[in-house]
Amino acid sequence: MGGERGTFEHGADFGIFGRGPRIEDAFRAAAEAMFALTTDLAKVSPREKIAFEFDEDDLEFAFVRWLNLLLSHAADRGLALGRFELERDGDHWKGTAWGEPWHDGLERGTGVKGATLTMLSVKQEGGAWDARCVVDV
């Protein structure tokens, strides 16, 4: 799968990015960057699985929707997420994530409220995909 992830400061919020050879890899890496703000991903056990599907033809909107659906499902179930997969078939996307309920052994970091359209960009450069946006904290 491969991918590179990271964050950048943006005023009171954070920017996140993901890069990878496929668009799905870039989106997955960005999800890791976003959830790494909330806790140490290496300490999150894949005990529970969430899965969802959505349709979106615009790549930038698909990116924000992917991130916000992950946040919504995690909040609804009280989960810290640490592992992510995404498949794409045209405009149809299938997302999967694994995590565990929050507990004392997981240190809470920065709370992420949602992915925004600020500095939103999804593009392919030099054979690699880059997906980035600012997340509201």
**CA–CA gap between residue 25 and residue 104 (Å, rounded):** 31
Q: What domains are defined for the chain?
A: 23-103 (3.55.10.10)
- Closest residue by Cα to residue 67 from 113, 101, 99, 110: 113
Number of Cβ within 10 Å of residue 101's Cβ equals 12
The reported pLDDT for the residue numbered 13 is: 86
The reported pLDDT for the residue numbered 5 is: 85
Exposed, middle or buried by CB within 10 Å (0-12, 13-18, 19+), for 47?
exposed
Low-confidence ranges of the chain (pLDDT < 50): none
Helices (H), the chain: 23-36, 59-77
Per-residue pLDDT tens over the stretch 65-104: 999 999 999 999 999 999 999 999 999 999 999 999 999 9
DSSP code, position 61: H
**CA–CA gap between residue 35 and residue 26 (Å, rounded):** 14
Exposed, middle or buried by CB within 10 Å (0-12, 13-18, 19+), for 108?
exposed
DSSP code, position 43: G
- Structure tokens given for 119: 């500095």
DSSP code, position 4: E
